[in-house]
Structure 1
């Protein structure tokens, strides 16, 4: 009987050690010129009633009257354990395109360039979930920005 208990204890110990090791993933170190930003959404009551919009920001010299944004080629989704366990997002950011549009304020005629925070034109919309953290590898000078949207639980029918 003692032998069975010892074997059971060893199996239980091995399983719990494996489980504990798997519950705290080790994400890779950021590459040179990048940083890791971890987004941890606060817990909300009735999270099913919310969506989250995630975008990226950076300081850039633009015309003070312009409406500006930037674009980047792609964001890769990678996983610590493929095909879908512990995702993280990687943006190269070496190739960006800054778009400067004309302001709707016709009184603003300045040609002065100022440093201003601009946001990416690419956005991520997803269901709100405080249950897991989002990991982003982005260029060092970028920021991760998010805002929450309260949604109506009812669909509206359009004929």
Structure 2
């Protein structure tokens, strides 16, 4: 076998392994979670396992796209409740909202409307590359998330001297 053929074979095996790893839809069977209630859908956040899961956090927000003025700050009213999955030791989240949007009340010149993703208060949870984060949300909403990672550097706080 020539060097070129051998190299091609190794690259093919590596790419095939990566493709197979990415094709796995879920780390655990999601059928253990309850079915979404009428008017709701089930969303899942899955992140890769790392050697340093404890140094990471996930922040997720529930929101929806809306045409709103561009000069005011807007926020979606609603709450994210954490529930226990009975008998499994896992948890999941349910977002409940009446759909109302709070806003500052500045007068906007031109009253231009833009498409914005309006979110509720974010929820911070631990990063776990072995378990999904399951969230139930109203059908017209969506979930976005960020991953935060702690730096290796540590810093010392300053002492305040009192007389």
What TM-score results when the alignment is normalised by the length of structure 1? 0.68
Matched with 2:104 is: 101
- Among 73, 84, 87, the alignment partner of 1:79 is 84
**Structure 2 spans left out of the alignment, 5+ residues:** 1-27
The answer as to whether partners of 1:62 and 1:100 remain within 8 angstroms in 2 is no
Higher normalized strand content (fraction of residues): 1
The answer as to whether partners of 1:60 and 1:118 remain within 8 angstroms in 2 is yes
Root-mean-square deviation (CA, aligned residues, Å) is 2.6
**Structure 1 spans left out of the alignment, 5+ residues:** 1-22
**Alpha-carbon distance between aligned partners in 1 of 2:143 and 2:157, rounded to the nearest angstrom:** 35
- Among 41, 47, 58, the alignment partner of 1:41 is 47
**Alpha-carbon distance between aligned partners in 1 of 2:143 and 2:158, rounded to the nearest angstrom:** 36
The answer as to whether partners of 1:57 and 1:118 remain within 8 angstroms in 2 is yes
> After TM superposition, where is structure 1 displaced by more than 6 Å over at least 4 residues in a row?
none
Tell me the number of residue pairs that the alignment of Structure 1 and Structure 2 aligns.
130
- Among 79, 87, 92, the alignment partner of 1:88 is 92
Deviation per CA, 1:19-66: give whole Å up to 9, x if none.
xxxx74521211111100011112334222222211112012311222
- Structure 1 residues 23-34: aligned runs within 5 Å: 24=29, 26-34=32-40
